[in-house]
Structure 1
Amino acid sequence: MAKKQLNPRTTNFEFGGPIGATVLTVFLPIFTILINLQLTPSKIHSVTYYLNFCKSSHLWISYCLWFSLLAAGDLLLPGKTLNGVKLRDGKTLKYKINGISNSVLLLLILALRWKLTDGEMPELQYLYENHLHLAIISIIFSVYLSCFVYLKSFINNTLLALGGNSGNVIYDWFIGRELNPRIGSSFDIKLFCELRPGMLLWFLINLSCLHHYYVTHNRELNDSLVLINLLQALYIFDGVLNEEGLLTMIDITTDGFGFMLAFGDLTFVPFTYALQARFLSVSPIHLGKYRTSLILSLMSLGYWIFHSSNREKSQFKKGKLPHLKAIQTKRGTKLLCDSWWSVSQHINYFGDWLISLSWCLTTWFQTPLTYYYSVYFAVLLFHRQKRDEKKCSEKYGNDWIKYQERVPYKIIPYVY
């Protein structure tokens, strides 16, 4: 296949093209900093104080050490090797899946530190007190990483993302030019960043908020902080332990890796998804058994829909559910339209959104700030649905029209 055919020039732009990419590159980091400023326990610090983080080399060392140790664990800890999807150049990349061993090691280290420090873990307090500093460092680190993978994408015979080869430096840097940037043959930068540094840091930030309350309130626990830690830890480790599911998702199979994903994975996830825990560490509330039961019920419903629908589609793709009804397409593939997937085209999105709402309810109605996540997530899922619909319409043609007639609702059954 000729290089021009293998890596065609991108003509369709997303996010408003180069101008939109520039605006988002500036706006999203500023938004992340400002929203976290609202949840900083001490309101007396000036902006100059926060920008002086550059003088604190230990913060850079801490963040880089965190990233490097996780990368080492990704390469060295035991796991299984799986094949990704077949790429358009005919190649199939191999991925090392070892989320279980990484998670077990992290939890063992935390348990050991808890035992050795009698519950007063200086590492978690350090993370809590330097939260905003580390957020800024992660932003700058994302910029550096994005520049690295962008320059790396110009190496000969690199497979580029179809959406990131426009020729415009800003846009391609933002969207991601190379499809699967790797160091060597085994360290996949995109898959690693999707699940390791940001997701596990999110878990530790939540834990640091609970720990801060524990050590500053005579070793007492708060039910709302405990609940948000448990709910989000379940979600985090469910993702990390089932990382092989990512191998068929659009982030891995289609999107390039640029600033959009680097910033999203390394900064946006840990430093905005932890807003509920950060807020509750500053303004704790007592939920009580009735409100706790309501939140747990909503989370359970969302998790059941999300997990069982995803599992059903995965099993169907592997040929293990041949009895389910599907539309045979001219491309030789099938569009599932039975069981969960007869209710809506993206029923898993609906379950995922219910989960996000349950997290926000842990702060009850003290502030609209913590509901940002559920609103943002709804917009994100809507954007993904529209993007997927456009791609499938082009891919399947008349078969997609038949599918939409069979499954008319897009995300929320009987509503949208």
Structure 2
Amino acid sequence: MAYTELNPKTKKFEFGGVVGTTILSLTLPIFTLIINQLITPNDKITYDPVYYLNPFQSYSLWLPYLVWFTSLAILDIIMPGHWVKGTTLRNGQVLNYKINGISNCLLLILVLALRWQLTDGQLPELQFLYDHYMELNVISFLFAFYLATWVYLRSFINESKRVLALGGNSGNVVYDWFIGRELNPRSICGLWDIKLYCELRPGMLLWFLINLSCVHHVYLETDQWNDSLCLITAMQSWYIFDGVLNEEGLLSMMDIVTDGFGFMLSFGDLTMVPFTYALQARWLSENPITLGYTKISMILALMCLGFTVFHLSNQQKSHFKQGKLNHMKFIPTERGTRLLCDGWWSVSQHINYLGDWFISLSWCLTTWFNTPLTYYYSAYFAILLIHRQIRDEEKCHKKYGKDWEEYQRRVPYKIIPYVY
């Protein structure tokens, strides 16, 4: 296959093209700082950009962050796991992925338990994370900027051998840097998949530690366990570890299959996830409220409903793709693949998105109706899911043609049954 056929030029621009992606690149980092400052106005932060850009001044922040990112990357390579194959790329290549989320999570929990014993429950690492949360937010998006730039530049090395993202090969530096030029950037002799690693390791597990630092801070201050803070930490921990432990399911999702790895994903994975998904825990750490059994039961019921829909629908599609559910109804396509239109996937085209949104709403309810700020996540997530649905529909219509139109006839609702 000729290089131009393998990697055609991008002609359709998203997010408002070059202007839109430039604005997002500048405003999203500022937004994360503003909303966190509103959530916890007492947090102190140095606003001098030279301080963060000069590692000799801010080494006390850069060093722990780099140790965190690098250590997890090394463990991602050396920890035991099993290898699975990803989807077939446009050049016919099938990438191998090492799945070792279980061993990585067990090691993290073991280290935390050991540090708890050695420090008599003080855990200075969690105290440092809580006290320097805002400053580490800045470090994270600077690192995301550097990582996206490095990946963009290396995509031009041995360019003819690389598979580029169809949406990030426009030729415009800013746009391609933001969207992601290379589809599956890998390093260390191809053993380390940068995109999959960033999706499930440094940001997701840092989110868990941020929540834990909030619980730890309140306990040290009050010598009590707050029910609302413990609830949000428990629910989000369940979600985080379920995602990491079931990382194999991510290999067939849009982030891995379609999107390149640029600032959009690096910033989303390394900054947006840990430093905006933890807003409920951060707010509750300074404004503890008592929910009581009735409210906790309602919130848990919504979380369980969302998780059931999300988990079972994704599991059903995964099993179908593996050839385990051949009795279910499907539409054969001219490409030789099958479009599932039975079970959960006869209810709506993205029923898993609805379950995911229910989960997000349950998290926001842990602050009850005491502040609108913590509901940012549920509102943002709704916009994100609708945008993904639109992108997925365009991709599938182009990919399957009349077969996709038949699928839409059989499953007319996009996310919410009988509504949208």
Question: Which residue in 2 is equivalent to 1:378?
Answer: 382
Q: Output the CA distance in 2 between the equivalents of 1:397 and 1:377.
A: 29
User: Are 1:254 and 2:262 matched, yes or no?
Assistant: no
Q: Output the CA distance in 2 between the equivalents of 1:48 and 1:331.
A: 54
2:114 maps to a residue whose letter is L
Q: Output the CA distance in 1 between the equivalents of 2:115 and 2:278.
A: 22
Q: Please list, as runs of the form range in 1=range in 2, the aligned pairs for 1:176-195 lying within 5 A after superposition.
A: 176-183=180-187, 184-195=189-200
Q: Output the CA distance in 1 between the equivalents of 2:28 and 2:392.
A: 24
Question: Which residue in 1 is equivalent to 2:325?
Answer: 321
1:325 maps to a residue whose letter is K
Q: Output the CA distance in 2 between the equivalents of 1:327 and 1:6.
A: 28
1:363-406 deviation line (CA, Å, top 9, x unaligned): 00000000000000000000000111111111122221211111
2:79 maps to a residue whose letter is L
Instruction: Tell me how far 1:39 sits from its aligned partner.
Output: 2.5
**Among residues 125, 128, 134, which one is paired with 1:126 in the alignment?**
128
| Cα pair 2:39 2:373 within 8 Å, conserved | no
Question: Which residue in 2 is equivalent to 1:296?
Answer: 300
2:22 maps to a residue whose letter is T
| Cα pair 1:41 1:282 within 8 Å, conserved | no
**Among residues 195, 203, 207, which one is paired with 1:202 in the alignment?**
207
**Among residues 345, 348, 354, which one is paired with 1:350 in the alignment?**
354
User: Are 1:40 and 2:37 matched, yes or no?
Assistant: no
Instruction: Tell me how far 1:56 sits from its aligned partner.
Output: 2.6
Unaligned segments of structure 1, at least 5 residues: none
1:71-116 deviation line (CA, Å, top 9, x unaligned): 0100111111111111111111111111000000000000111122
Q: TM-score, normalised by structure 2?
A: 0.97
60-69 vs 245-254, which deviates more? 245-254
Q: Output the CA distance in 2 between the equivalents of 1:125 and 1:51.
A: 25
| Cα pair 2:137 2:275 within 8 Å, conserved | yes
**1:91 and 1:106, CA in 2 relative to 1: closer, same or farther beyond 3 A?**
same
Q: Please list, as runs of the form range in 1=range in 2, the aligned pairs for 1:227-266 lying within 5 A after superposition.
A: 227-266=231-270
Q: Output the CA distance in 1 between the equivalents of 2:385 and 2:411.
A: 18
Q: Output the CA distance in 2 between the equivalents of 1:286 and 1:325.
A: 48
**1:400 and 1:214, CA in 2 relative to 1: closer, same or farther beyond 3 A?**
same
**1:233 and 1:99, CA in 2 relative to 1: closer, same or farther beyond 3 A?**
same
Q: Secondary structure at the match of 1:178?
A: coil
Question: Which residue in 2 is equivalent to 1:19?
Answer: 19
Question: Which residue in 2 is equivalent to 1:174?
Answer: 178
| Cα pair 2:167 2:259 within 8 Å, conserved | yes
| Cα pair 1:50 1:133 within 8 Å, conserved | no
1:20 maps to a residue whose letter is G
Instruction: Tell me how far 1:48 sits from its aligned partner.
Output: 3.7
User: Are 1:391 and 2:395 matched, yes or no?
Assistant: yes
Instruction: Tell me how far 1:46 sits from its aligned partner.
Output: 6.8
| Cα pair 1:85 1:248 within 8 Å, conserved | yes
Q: Output the CA distance in 2 between the equivalents of 1:46 and 1:215.
A: 22
User: Are 1:277 and 2:281 matched, yes or no?
Assistant: yes
**1:189 and 1:384, CA in 2 relative to 1: closer, same or farther beyond 3 A?**
same
391-400 vs 188-197, which deviates more? 391-400
Q: Secondary structure at the match of 1:362?
A: helix
Q: Please list, as runs of the form range in 1=range in 2, the aligned pairs for 1:326-341 lying within 5 A after superposition.
A: 326-341=330-345
Question: Which residue in 2 is equivalent to 1:144?
Answer: 146
Instruction: Tell me how far 1:47 sits from its aligned partner.
Output: 5.5
**Among residues 28, 35, 60, which one is paired with 2:62 in the alignment?**
60
| Cα pair 1:50 1:132 within 8 Å, conserved | no
Identity level (%):
65
| Cα pair 1:85 1:92 within 8 Å, conserved | yes
Instruction: Tell me how far 1:51 sits from its aligned partner.
Output: 6.9
Structural RMSD (CA): 1.2
| Cα pair 2:140 2:270 within 8 Å, conserved | yes
User: Are 1:212 and 2:217 matched, yes or no?
Assistant: yes
Q: Output the CA distance in 2 between the equivalents of 1:351 and 1:185.
A: 35
Question: Which residue in 2 is equivalent to 1:108?
Answer: 110
Instruction: Tell me how far 1:120 sits from its aligned partner.
Output: 1.5
Question: Which residue in 1 is equivalent to 2:137?
Answer: 135
Q: Output the CA distance in 1 between the equivalents of 2:405 and 2:26.
A: 39
Unaligned segments of structure 2, at least 5 residues: none
Q: Output the CA distance in 2 between the equivalents of 1:291 and 1:56.
A: 43
Q: Output the CA distance in 2 between the equivalents of 1:408 and 1:254.
A: 24
Q: Secondary structure at the match of 1:38?
A: helix
1:369 maps to a residue whose letter is L
1:74 maps to a residue whose letter is D
Question: Which residue in 2 is equivalent to 1:96?
Answer: 98
Q: Output the CA distance in 1 between the equivalents of 2:213 and 2:41.
A: 13
Q: Output the CA distance in 2 between the equivalents of 1:334 and 1:405.
A: 16
Q: Secondary structure at the match of 2:334?
A: coil
Q: Secondary structure at the match of 2:39?
A: coil
Question: Which residue in 2 is equivalent to 1:361?
Answer: 365
1:159 maps to a residue whose letter is V
Q: Output the CA distance in 2 between the equivalents of 1:46 and 1:241.
A: 35
The aligned length equals 414
2:262 maps to a residue whose letter is G
2:220 maps to a residue whose letter is V
Q: Output the CA distance in 1 between the equivalents of 2:5 and 2:270.
A: 33
Instruction: Tell me how far 1:174 sits from its aligned partner.
Output: 0.3
Q: Output the CA distance in 1 between the equivalents of 2:296 and 2:177.
A: 44
| Cα pair 1:17 1:171 within 8 Å, conserved | yes
Question: Which residue in 1 is equivalent to 2:28?
Answer: 28
